[in-house]
Homo-oligomer: A and B are copies of this chain.
């Protein structure tokens, strides 16, 4: 009998298989089939975006945030990268018996503060409690609704488009890895977990903006491999141009991870027309969260897949990982 494996939740290849072979087999629909981070819905003849995420992170508290902050940023950011202004959010808690009320209170306080920062209203909630050893402290589901301002679609992407990232890759994943390791690493790496609406919504005015995505599970590499599969176009990346913090690079190397596959929770990948790229970079760099924005590559119709031009001058193809390097990271 086939059974669920940890890799089915990785956001990588096994997750994709599960979605295609089980979920889409029964639930195929116009809205669900594109598998974007948020669905386009029509309410009273207005376009809105809807997105959902469950957070099963371990540990619950990490440098730069906790599961509460993360659960608000993740969902609010999925709306923004879909071209929507975040408006409303629901909050579903599944709490394990014995969980300290004090910790719960700290998580709820973070949710409140982050929702304020993200400009999103928490309007409805639900709480369930499960017995000891039937959960892992706290799981949180957040579902968000936003108003579409700038419809985005991978279908608009074409040869020669520019690929931009709004800052350093792998910060969130590295901070979780450190928080989880049993041996102690002296480090100042914090999660980049942050709401992105004030950084990204000014880009909605720029005509050449075609597509955005926040690189969470599986990191920037996984998002770009998916993009290449969806569009049938190639992605040419320049390793040297991909911003990575020195300490992230060092720690990731020590632990055997590749930062480009590690999650961010406060960054966006952006595809824009080549003509608009300078304006996009200029707009992003005005914002503290976009100070390290960089052009990291371009779309190329002459091949398929993601090619990374390495620093030493070689080239390698980036694949979707079968399994996450680090499970339960977001």
Contact = CB atoms under 8 A, between A and B. Distances in A.
Interface string A91-118: 1111111111110110011011001000
A50 B51 CA distance: 13
B27 A112 contact: yes
A38 B43 CA distance: 16
Contact of A121 (B10, B18, B31, B129): B31
Given A8-B95, A52-B90, A130 B136 contact: yes
Interface string A139-171: 101010101000000000000000000000000
B46 A44 contact: yes
Given A32-B122, A53-B92, A145 B1 contact: no
B3 A99 contact: yes
Interface in A121-140: 121-131, 133-136, 139
Given A1-B102, A129-B327, 13 more contacts: A1-B100, A3-B98, A3-B99, A5-B97, A9-B129, A25-B105, A26-B105, A32-B125, A50-B90, A52-B92, A54-B126, A56-B94, A131-B328
